[in-house]
Structure 1
Amino acid sequence: SQTIKDVSVFARVSPEHKLRIINSLRKDGEIVAMTGDGINDAPSVKKSDVGISMGIRGSDVTREAADMILADDNYATIVSAIEEGRGIFNNIRKFIRLLLSANFDEILISCIQS
């Protein structure tokens, strides 16, 4: 478990080891993302918190197991998706804050008038 935390990049890992790495990281409370394109990557892509498959080169099985499919097989798409998602999340938070403050004022005015 500690050895896995000391490593930044894993290369040429067998399918069994991929699953063991993912399970170990998840057990330690880490959020795990896995990218894959071959049939042997499907179990690991499915087991990870965020499974990412290649849209052009990826196998059908891996695309089915994935949470996200990169239609253009470009990793920069992930960064764009995260930035867009954060913007949407922040807008939703602002809207909820506005909605709650407006409703609180309405309830307060109703109580004062009663």
Structure 2
Amino acid sequence: MISEREYRYYQRLHQNRLNLVIHIIGSIMFIAGNILMLVGLWNFIDSGQILIGFSLLLIAITLQAIGHQFEPEQFGGFKGPFDFVKTFYLELVIFFPAFLFSPYFLENWSKK
């Protein structure tokens, strides 16, 4: 369960409309990339699927970096490689989809 405090913190880091659009696209790409890599592994190491899936992950991560440049409040940074991976999976697979369908997203989207 995501707490009110966590939603408010996330909301502060995602105020810009362009960044919100980038996150919608990036989250879909990130999830699709992971699914494609898993399907590639399931299909007896289909390197084409794995490569396309991994490419989608890299593009999604790059889009996130670009989008956050438009935000008035910046993310504090990662504590290391594990934190980097953990943060992206939590954000793009769990937290952003929940945020997207919350009143917090609509509140930020409605700002001028």
Give the TM-score of the pair, scaled to structure 1.
0.30
* Bigger relative contact order (CA 8 A; separation at least 6): 2
Give the TM-score of the pair, scaled to structure 2.
0.31
> Which structure carries more helix by proportion?
2
Q: Which has the larger radius of gyration?
A: 1
> Which structure carries more strand by proportion?
1
